Amino acid sequence: MSTAAIAHNLQRVRQRIAVAAQAAGRDPATVTLLAVSKTFGAEAVLAAAAAGQRDFGENYAQEGIVKMAQVREAAPALALRWHFIGPIQSNKTRPIAEHYDAVQSVDRLKIAQRLAEQRPAHLPPLDVLVQINVSGEASKSGVPPAEAEALARAVAALPGLRLRGLMAIPAPTDDDQLARQPFAQMRALFDRLRAAGLPLDILSMGMSGDIEAAVAEGATMLRVGTAIFGARRAPPVPGEEHQP
């Protein structure tokens, strides 16, 4: 996809967010757009960055790290933020701890502990979002909502990490009303944990197909891939699996 097409798509996504925020009586500036660049190359990231995009999401640790280096070489002065949003295997935490700014897919204590141990001391704390299995799907990553508070408290106590919020990938549905339910449940959980004293400021939910529903229910971060970069090809790294 051309640089102009990516800029145009970004403009459209920002417009969708602005319209949805206005409809919900929210300030669009309270919603951060994360551009999910998985399977797309450094040139796509550079095109989005040229159009003002600063936060990028990757699902495959190594793919993202290679891309970061390519982007840094092409544009050394560009300050981007890289979020890891994919499933995490406990023996693959080190490259994530060493290279990313944020991890949105922490769903067990062991992963958080390893990230904390492996975060280099010269880097700022790694921002952490706890991933919630809001739809209760057996096959999906994420901690059950009932266990979210305990995990969030444990993360908040670890050095090298900074607890920032919650992330969810609800099961897809064609029904607009049903689509809002898991987002509303996430918002209620977010509010409850904040009321319980946890320092959460990011509620990451909503993708290309459900931007409006997520903004209506209070998302403060949207993770959007297809609507910015187009349809994805197969993953470039053999052995690393796609999600979703």
With CB under 6 A as the contact rule, the residue among 47, 179, 207, 219 that binds ligand PLP is 207
Stretch that binds ligand PLP, among 76-84, 115-123, 190-198, 218-226 (CB under 6 A): 218-226
| Cα angle, residue 25 at apex, residues 23 and 31 outer, rounded to 5° | 90
Four-residue CA torsion sign, 219, 223, 226, 232: negative
Contact pick of 67, 83, 187, 223 for ligand PLP (by CB under 6 A): 223
- Identify which range of 20-28, 76-84, 107-115, 207-215 contacts ligand PLP by CB under 6 A: 207-215
Q: Which of residues 138-197 bind ligand PLP (CB under 6 A)?
A: 169
Question: Could you give phi then psi for residue 235, rounded to 5 degrees?
Answer: -65, 140
Quick check: 85 binds ligand PLP (CB under 6 A)? yes
DSSP string, 157-196: TSTTEEEEEEEE-PPP-S-HHHHHHHHHHHHHHHHHHHHT
Q: How far apart are the first and last CA of the chain?
A: 22
Contact in structure between 128 and 88 (CB atoms under 8 Å)? no
Residue 59 in contact with ligand PLP, rule: CB under 6 A: yes
Question: How many whole angstroms separate alpha carbon 213 and alpha carbon 126?
Answer: 29
Query: 166 near 190, Cβ under 8 Å?
Result: yes
For ligand PLP, the closer CB: 140 or 160 = 140
Among all chains, which residue has been given the structure tokens 């280096």? Answer: 69
In the bound complex, what is the minimum distance in angstroms from residue 74's beta carbon to ligand PLP? 24
Stretch that binds ligand PLP, among 10-18, 66-74, 183-191, 203-211 (CB under 6 A): 203-211
Q: How many chain residues touch ligand PLP (CB under 6 A)?
A: 15
Q: Does position 114 bind ligand PLP by CB under 6 A?
A: no
Q: How far is the CB of 243 from ligand PLP (least distance, A)?
A: 5
| Residue 120 CB, nearest approach to ligand PLP (Å) | 25
Q: Which residue has its beta carbon closest to ligand PLP?
A: 225
The conformational region for residue 136 under phi > 0 = left, psi -120 to 50 = alpha, else beta, is left
Q: Is 137 in the site for ligand PLP (CB under 6 A)?
A: no
Distance CA 129, CA 131 (A): 6
Binding footprint of ligand PLP on the chain (CB under 6 A): 36, 38, 59, 85, 169, 207-209, 223-227, 243-244
